[in-house]
Structure 1
Amino acid sequence: MPVKLKYGSNKSSSKQASIVDRLHLDNRFVRYALVAMLGCFVVLLGVLGFYYFKYEHIVNDRLAKGPMFASVSQIYAAPREIRDGQKLSVSSIAADLRRAGYNNNPQLGTFQQNGDSLFIKPGPESYHTPDGATIYAPGGIVDKITAENGAALSAYELEPQLITALSEENSRTKRRMVTYKDIPPEMVKAITSIEDRNFFEHSGVNFLRIAKCGVEDLTSGRKRCGGSTITMQLARGFFLSPEKRLKRKFIEILITFQLESRFSKQQIFEMYANQMNLGHRGSYDINGLGEASQAFFGKDLKQLDTAECALLAGMYQSPSRLNPYRHPERAIARRNVVLDSMVETGAISASAATRAKAEPLRLTTADVDASEAPYFVDLVHDQLVQRISDQDLAHQSLRIYTSLDPDLQHAASDAVEIGMKNVDEIIRKRNAKSTAPFTYPQVALVALNPHTGQILALVGGRNYSASQLDHAISKRPTGSIFKPFVYAAAYNSSLNGTSLGESGVFTAATHLNDTPTTFTFDHGRQTYSPNNFKGDFRGDVIAAYALAHSLNNATISLGQQIGFENVAALARSAGIAAARGTPSVSLGAYAATPIDMAGAYTVFANGGVRLKPWMLASVRNTSGDIVSDYSPEAKQVMDPRAAYLTQSLLEATMNYGSAAVVRGRGFSAPGAGKTGTSHDAWFAGYTSNLICIVWVGNDDYTDVKIQGADAAAPIWAEFMKRAIKLPQYSDVKSFSPPDGVSIAKIDSDTGLLADVSCSTHTMNVAFLDGTAPTASCSQMNENPQNFFQKLFGLGGHAAPVSPYAPPTPSPAGTAPPSSPTSAPPAGSPAAPQPAQPEQPKKKKNIFQKIFGGGNDKDNKQPQPAQSPQ
């Protein structure tokens, strides 16, 4: 029987035949099509490979240049000094150290609190040397400070506080770098819930989402749907422009693959968190969650709660439109959308979202002056650019230590805010019936240490967000706050042996002529006829009274006797560079900045030594190594005794004269000061440990029409009241005279020693030993006729009973003793205007003599023309 052999199954061949049949591979056209598709696929792979490696090269080049972000330079305040006797608790000192980073960063430093004692140990990256100390403060009073070796210390400096951080990029940027571990989990969940829910699962690109957005954009005709993942947004932010084009999206995907292959998800999120732009403050962009947390909440990123995390996460969509300061309703609505998304993704519960939605916006103050001293920071930045090249500043992470005191900066910002509300009210009342438009004035405040020159606080305008013009460095005519330099020049000249008229030595009791006078200069070719406020001339007055009540003609007559060029020379030595030897220099016609005037007043407060105001102390790298240190500049410009004698007149001005307005405002500590009014309003004053200059004026140089006593003095008083409540400025001391100088109480009308017969008009002023008056008020009774002539203004000016005869002013029409030989140079204030008809001399009646308070308003008399500066 034949056997039928079976050699395997034909199922396989049948299956292959069926595939061929179905694909029609026996058809050559089909085969050609498949080959073409395969070719296209190969070409596409080649193109993708080409561009992948092309952009890999671009990414490599970018990463090879250094970190993904530009270097961040951190700007620090001055170290806070702890001294014996200060009202400070151990817990408040510990809080300062904690804010500075101690314990959180052992490399910076550590501290240990034990009851009423605190042991502080700086680390290798500290601003200070590693020498530690223990501070004892039982009952909230610093009782003792000891070094590690047990030696007693009178003071100890804490680690400086961070003011702000700058990132030098193409735009002005502020950024505080954070690591992934610094980012609270709620923030990660909030961002991923609203921006990229599958961020930790996908490979960098969500193709389905991109396809949906593509269809949506095509059907709507608008390019609003993003479809980008967090990694794609990061790729776009670092390497591409934000415009929406198909080619750009293709490149974005390729760079995304590069980033995903190089970095972990945590690293990518960290870069994203530092790259996010969340709006701006003033002229700076706010980049990164670390800076945004400080800018909007005044907190460290780790301290944010769920609602605050949701607010920042939502703002990224449109930082300007969702700015919580300008559009709180929009910001809250967007925050709540983020919270709903967090519920949908299971990040938080519905009840937690409800609680977060009920939370109000708890934003930090919108005034960046108080928190970050922006005008100060701008000046620091400008100085750094001058001293350290832009290239070095942009590519180094530097620690920049400055002179700023954050507590005093807050006091300055608060005082300016309160004071300018008062100024605005004056402006509104004055223009209540006017239909013409009007503007509100600007302001500047500068505070510095009179013994070191360090600028402790600086406000350059009323609102940094509205205007970044720094008025602290704007040159303006100084008005009557310049007048003390006339009296200082007189004292200095006398001490140098220069005779002043018939009296010989200039003193606070020297008599000056305050009558309508035409002064000549430039060899008689030019004349100057100033006026007093409201034409109120006082006749024969003593020098202390003239300065205390800011009498113009008396001051110019003194300047004429000692030589206007001598006055100008002293002013230039003190830092008022524009001063020139003309009569108007005596009234502050030449311009200076508030910082200049703060530096100039150190001459009076620091024994005749002028300290140049400074802001930069030291620049160091991240390891704490010194890059550059800066030393303050000091120069002896006048005799210490002359400085104190001038200071004594300024004390009298604050206690008895035009500056006494600050006493009425509640400032009662020992102090010296002077009001000033030209087209602007000024106040300059100081205590034993603090100088403060306040300026108020219009940007267009028009007359602000408010006296210094009404505009600037209240701000000064508010600031000083706040300052002396701070531990570091509470120990205000009385001014101590140097050897060879003593204090005497004199009659402010006659300059004689005060006794019971003249007790209503007295002042305490300083005299060089041997130059104080020897006669007293009671001795005036020996010559009743002269007394009544002086008191009632009868007859001529009787010679006062004084050890010194009154100086004889130069007759009108003749050159002063030290008249300059040429007119002011180009660029300085022009020559005074022609003389006005001389006013008849006015004698004071008894009521004017007894009750007249005087005023320092200078802008009513003809002034030299000013060039805008």
Structure 2
Amino acid sequence: MIKRQWLSYLFWTGVKVGVAVAAVVAVYAIYLDASLSKHFKTERYQAPALVYAGELRLYPGYPIPQSTLIKTLERIGYNRSNDTEQSGYYSVGNSSVMVHRRPFDFSDGPQMSKRVQINFLNNRVASITSWPSGRELESFRLEPELIGRISTLSKEDRLLVGLEVVPNLLIETLLQVEDRNFYHHQGVSPWAILRALVANLKAGRTVQGGSTLTQQLVKNLYLTREQTLWRKFHEAMMSLVIDYRFDKNTILETYLNEVYFGQDGRNAIHGIGLASQFYFGKQVQELSVYEVALLIGMIKGPSYYDPRRFPERAQERRDTVLKVMFDQDLIAKSTYVAAVQRQLDVRESRRLVEHPYPHYMDIIKREMKTLALPDDWQDTGLKIYTHMDVNAQEAVQKSLAGKLKEDDSALEGAMVVANYRQGTVTALAGGRLSQTVGYNRAIMALRPIGSLIKPVIYATAMQESGVGLHTPVVDEAITLEDKQSKQWQPQNYDKEFKGSLLLYEALVKSRNIPAVRVGVEVGVDTVVDYMRRLGVVTPLEVYPSLTLGSASLTPYAVTRMYSALMNDGRFQPLSAISSITTHQGDVLYRASEKNGEQVFDTKVAYLTKFGLHGVVAEGTASALQRVLAGQKVGGKTGTTNDYRDSWFVAVDGEQVVTAWLGRDDNQPTGLTGSSGALRVVADYYERKPPLSMALNVPEPLKMQRFHERTGQRIPNDCGNGELLPAEEIRLPDNITCEGNIEEKSWWDRLFGG
């Protein structure tokens, strides 16, 4: 009797305890369902902003040497081979390059792989032929280089990919290796746990895990690595909830985007999408059989099986996975044998971004702050497509560094390159150390611009007063009051005065006094107003000294100002970002076509451009001609008091190139614009030849010859004077080459000779 009562007591106590435990577990499950499901749906992980350079778009006539294209292909990870059947390979002929472009998600949508032959003639693209069809193409574009990333607070890097782009072979192999019953369990597999327990007991050590993919995902997303019963229980409960609430494909896609694959410095590489690029320089859909096997094998221990540090260990693990693929009929025997015989072939670099461009990245981050991006963009990640021309950027950095190495260690510099037609920044460097962020002088260093202001003064005068390049200006001493109300007597560089000369020569020879006189005549306040319309936002003092460049601007602001002068007088803001999408390709921002404000009319803009060409052709920047190979380029030198600042701005058929050299402590450099900054730009043009300026004279201007002192129209066949564009001026009868009216003889007057 007592025994039966005792058993009954134990039974009912057990029932009560079981009910209580079940109730606690149920409450806990409800709590997890409420909190975990929402978090898993909207905040599974954070993804960085991946920043890409501008794409290289080739077309017949595009100026690019064969060697530059080869260098570009090498830099973005293409392999040279006679066999270009696979994407990611290229071959080289005498005057051609065969390229098999990889598939890539461009800013306007995904593009499939494409094989073309690019033919060259005289350092230009002659034709582009689709292979093997032989069809002539109007254009062809290469995928852009990854130039940087803006990481999340978690320091986790990933490229989110959808399940639809992941190869079936990778998915099938993952399930065979990590969780064969993934589609048949409810998040936890008791049989897998039991099987692992038996295997581990037999081996006397941990040789097999019993965790499902769902459990691995939960552990990676939410839990620590501690080995306790409570953590294992927590993991199991969370796995059950997630499996109940979300379909298997969502869980699998999340796993593929979360799984850890190693370190890139301080940033962790997560997800199959970024791992494909980190180890192979490929998109996930391009992976070969042996590359799939290596990545799947690394999941067991990314550090232990790191192919760069432990290649033998990684290859052994890869071959084990290949054996699983063969045993499960995922690959044929011939494929298996060929894959096993392959050596490991991973990128040598341990960095995802091999060539950092911190100063260009600086303007990307600044521009991002001006755009209306979602606050939670890290949930979807961003792909930021920029206008950077990597070849131009490399040339800028090397040219600037080369000049700075020649001089004392205190000398600093900055360069900006912009496409003035499109209003885009294609290259930028803000100092001697272009590989570190530091002080970005290109956008932060306010320095007096010296003679760079002269084209703006003359353009203002032509716009407001109707003068032209043929107008005579005065080069004689002048006394003015400075901002302290003291007498100010500006001087020319040579301390001499020419008396009277044409505005064209005053610009070409960079004479100071004519610029001061014209600026004061048209009004310093008027010049300031035009500078504002050209994008200058920094303080400007309305004093006569401004006419000799006392205004302080950044190299970036100078580039923006000259871009408007070259863009037919139309101002448009410069931008570095072309478009932004999520990792999945949803467009968040696309730069609209810029109309801009018409600051100077097209006639004035052309006359200014013609004058800038004269500066290089026969003026203070004539030293630049040695590197131009006949290409027409304009420019303007600038030197400030005591040689503290050396400036040069070059303008060609599509770009403005600005270079500045100086010292941060504002001490003299001993460099003029010609002896300093001009040499940097010359080196840049040797590395990246310019596109020639178009100087065809637009209506209503015509080329006419003018006397060099008086500006009088003289016959075009005279050997003296200047041949300049101007609105047509009637040539007086009997005008001589000296600009004098020749008196007719009595015979001519009588008979009309």
Residue 399 of structure 1: CA displacement?
Answer: 8.4
Distance 1:464 1:272 in 2: 38
1:581 to 538, 542, 546: 542
* 1:180-234 per-position Cα deviation (integer Å, ceiling 9, x unaligned): 46446897799899xxx6444686588699999x99xxxxxxxxx9998754453
Name 2:368's counterpart in structure 1. Answer: 381
Name 1:601's counterpart in structure 2. Answer: 562
Are residue 485 (structure 1) and residue 473 (structure 2) matched? no
* 1:779-818 per-position Cα deviation (integer Å, ceiling 9, x unaligned): 9xxxxxxxxxxxxxxxxxxxxxxxxxxxxxxxxxxxxxxx
Name 2:412's counterpart in structure 1. Answer: 441
Structure 1 contact 81–157 (Cα < 8 Å) conserved: yes
Change (3 A) 1:255 1:645: same
Are residue 289 (structure 1) and residue 272 (structure 2) matched? yes
Distance 1:454 1:590 in 2: 24
Are residue 540 (structure 1) and residue 540 (structure 2) matched? no
Distance 1:414 1:358 in 2: 27
1:366 to 332, 350, 354: 354
Structure 2 contact 416–559 (Cα < 8 Å) conserved: no
Secondary structure of the corresponding residue to residue 369 of structure 2: helix
Are residue 672 (structure 1) and residue 659 (structure 2) matched? no
Secondary structure of the corresponding residue to residue 622 of structure 2: helix
Secondary structure of the corresponding residue to residue 441 of structure 1: strand
Change (3 A) 1:318 1:76: closer
Count of residue pairs the alignment pairs up: 663
Distance 1:248 1:667 in 2: 72
Name 1:840's counterpart in structure 2. Answer: none
Amino acid in structure 2 at the alignment position of 1:537:
K
Are residue 640 (structure 1) and residue 620 (structure 2) matched? no
Unmatched segments (≥5 aa) in structure 1 = 1-24, 117-138, 144-154, 216-224, 323-329, 432-437, 497-504, 780-869
Distance 1:210 1:771 in 2: 101
Secondary structure of the corresponding residue to residue 273 of structure 1: helix
CA RMSD of the aligned region, Å?
6.0
Secondary structure of the corresponding residue to residue 394 of structure 2: helix
Amino acid in structure 1 at the alignment position of 2:473:
T
Secondary structure of the corresponding residue to residue 683 of structure 1: strand
Are residue 339 (structure 1) and residue 315 (structure 2) matched? yes
Name 2:655's counterpart in structure 1. Answer: 690
Distance 1:280 1:558 in 2: 62
* 1:640-661 per-position Cα deviation (integer Å, ceiling 9, x unaligned): 3333332222111112233234
Name 1:257's counterpart in structure 2. Answer: 240
Distance 1:674 1:632 in 2: 26
Residue 240 of structure 1: CA displacement?
Answer: 4.9
Change (3 A) 1:645 1:96: farther
Secondary structure of the corresponding residue to residue 291 of structure 1: helix
Question: Identity of counterpart residues, as a percentage?
Answer: 19
Worse-superposed segment, 336-345 or 347-356: 347-356
Q: Give me the TM-score of the superposition, normalised by structure 1.
A: 0.59
Name 1:52's counterpart in structure 2. Answer: 29
Change (3 A) 1:110 1:302: closer
Distance 1:276 1:702 in 2: 55
Secondary structure of the corresponding residue to residue 309 of structure 2: helix
Structure 2 contact 293–318 (Cα < 8 Å) conserved: no
Name 1:512's counterpart in structure 2. Answer: 475
Distance 1:187 1:60 in 2: 27
Amino acid in structure 1 at the alignment position of 2:396:
V
Unmatched segments (≥5 aa) in structure 2 = 67-89, 91-95, 119-124, 130-136, 202-207, 326-335, 741-753
Structure 1 contact 520–527 (Cα < 8 Å) conserved: yes
Amino acid in structure 1 at the alignment position of 2:456:
F
Name 2:437's counterpart in structure 1. Answer: 467
Structure 2 contact 104–112 (Cα < 8 Å) conserved: no
Change (3 A) 1:341 1:766: same
Name 2:551's counterpart in structure 1. Answer: 590
Distance 2:361 2:51 in 1: 11
Change (3 A) 1:673 1:28: same
Structure 2 contact 420–656 (Cα < 8 Å) conserved: yes
Residue 673 of structure 1: CA displacement?
Answer: 0.9
Secondary structure of the corresponding residue to residue 580 of structure 1: coil
Residue 410 of structure 1: CA displacement?
Answer: 1.7
* 1:657-713 per-position Cα deviation (integer Å, ceiling 9, x unaligned): 332343223454112111334555443222233333344566777767655545544
Q: 1:453-852 alignment to 2 at 5 Å? A: 453-457=423-427, 466-467=436-437, 471-474=441-444, 476-477=446-447, 478-495=449-466, 507=470, 510-513=473-476, 519-522=480-483, 525-526=485-486, 528=488, 536-540=494-498, 542=501, 543-552=503-512, 555-578=515-538, 579-614=540-575, 630-666=592-628, 668-678=630-640, 679-695=644-660, 707-709=672-674, 712-717=677-682, 719-720=684-685, 733-742=694-703, 744=705, 765-767=724-726, 769-770=728-729
Q: 1:62-461 alignment to 2 at 5 Å? A: 62-65=39-42, 68=44, 99=103, 140-141=126-127, 175-180=158-163, 182-183=165-166, 198-200=178-180, 231-240=214-223, 250-260=233-243, 268-276=251-259, 287-294=270-277, 298-304=281-287, 306=290, 310=294, 332-344=308-320, 346=323, 355-357=342-344, 361=348, 366-369=354-357, 374-375=361-362, 377-384=364-371, 388=372, 390-391=374-375, 404-405=386-387, 409-427=389-407, 430-431=408-409, 441=412, 443-450=414-421, 452-457=422-427
Structure 1 contact 640–738 (Cα < 8 Å) conserved: no
Distance 1:581 1:302 in 2: 62
Worse-superposed segment, 455-464 or 747-756: 747-756
Structure 2 contact 569–604 (Cα < 8 Å) conserved: yes
Secondary structure of the corresponding residue to residue 558 of structure 2: helix
Structure 1 contact 310–335 (Cα < 8 Å) conserved: no
Distance 1:376 1:341 in 2: 44
Distance 2:245 2:434 in 1: 42
Secondary structure of the corresponding residue to residue 632 of structure 2: coil
Secondary structure of the corresponding residue to residue 545 of structure 2: helix
Amino acid in structure 1 at the alignment position of 2:39:
R
